[in-house]
Amino acid sequence: MKLKRVLLKLSGEVLHGPEPRGVHRPAVAGFAGEILAVHRQGIQLAVLVGGGNLFRGGSLAGQGYARVTGDLMGLLATVINGLALQDVLEELGVEARLLSSVRMDEVAEFYLRRRAIRHLEAGRIVILAGGMGRPYFSTDTAAVQRALEIGADAVLKGTRVDGVYDRDPEQDAAAKLFAAVSYDQALRENLRIVDPAAFALCRDHGLPLVVFNVLKPGNLEAVALGEPVGTLVNASGRRDSPAAGPGKDDNRGG
């Protein structure tokens, strides 16, 4: 089933390309092309970017910085990534708006739920930066929170692997890939899909989550069109179950 409005969680770590760190423009351009393909399908798309290619709060805390300081540095890194993605998308001829949860009026629009929805309804791609605007919250949690707020049909989490496995596929070649799992199964088998706070939000509000390999060209568009790519995480643990997320309610323009 083709989705109408989705939120893509894009890890900052995929934006450094072949470099050890930083923002690699060819890598950003590649993802911008994938995003544009979804946009051309008439699907409303919000992209929440991470900052792990520049700074990760937990790692900085391990280097001696205060945790709050490290997290705030990580939030600023997501804004840098958002600017890079916006620049490339606009070069491709598509309208994109960067909304930040941290107020910085000279750089990005301040995030407001209604503002984000209006941009989506006007046919613009919305880039969400600044996480939740507070320390101690991961960008996974921010992605699910924002998806619920804007009435997205699903969260699409782009990763380096093909979906959810019973164990780490990068360490065990015999790891089993799941086509679909339920929230209960994920808890029972301790499948680490997103952080616990983000997972609880998905489960409690019935928001479907699709985990897929974002590095494979065409995968993002296929997932948004409802094709069986990656792993679907929902209440039933079945792919034939319709999406039960907040997008089904009349809350898109509220």
Task: Say which CATH number the domain at 84 has.
Answer: 3.40.1160.10
| Residue 65 predicted with pLDDT over 70 | yes
CB atoms < 10 A from the CB of 196, how many? 12
**DSSP for 105-126?**
TTTSEEP-HHHHHHHHHTT-EE
| Residue 145 predicted with pLDDT over 80 | yes
More confident residue, 129 or 12: 129
Pick the closest to residue 146 from 47, 232, 4 (CA basis).
Answer: 47
| pLDDT single digits (tens) 42-57 | 999 999 999 989 988 7
The pLDDT of residue 248: 43
The pLDDT of residue 241: 54
Q: How many domains does the chain have?
A: 1
The chain-wide mean pLDDT, for the chain, equals 91
- Is residue 206 assigned to a domain? yes
The pLDDT of residue 236: 93
- Is residue 48 assigned to a domain? yes
Total residues found in the chain within this entry: 254
The pLDDT of residue 243: 46
The pLDDT of residue 64: 87
Percent of the chain with pLDDT over 70: 94
- Is residue 240 assigned to a domain? yes
Q: Which residues of 101-132 are buried (b: 16+ CB within 10 A; e: fewer)?
A: bbeeeeebbebeeeebbebbeeebbbbbbbbb
Please state, in angstroms and rounded to a whole number, the distance separating the CA atoms of residues 215 and 157: 12
Residues 6+ apart with CB under 8 A from 43: 2, 3, 4, 5, 6, 224
The pLDDT of residue 216: 95
The pLDDT of residue 20: 86
Give the pLDDT mean for 69-92: 95
- Is residue 253 assigned to a domain? no
Residue 27 belongs to what domain range?
5-248
Per-residue DSSP letter, 178:
P
| Residue 12 predicted with pLDDT over 80 | yes
Question: Which DSSP helix (H) or strand (E) runs through 212?
Answer: strand 209-213
- Is residue 244 assigned to a domain? yes
Highest mean pLDDT among 139-148, 158-167, 232-241: 139-148
CB atoms < 10 A from the CB of 73, how many? 17
- Is residue 191 assigned to a domain? yes
- Is residue 30 assigned to a domain? yes
| Residue 178 predicted with pLDDT over 50 | yes
| Residue 245 predicted with pLDDT over 50 | no
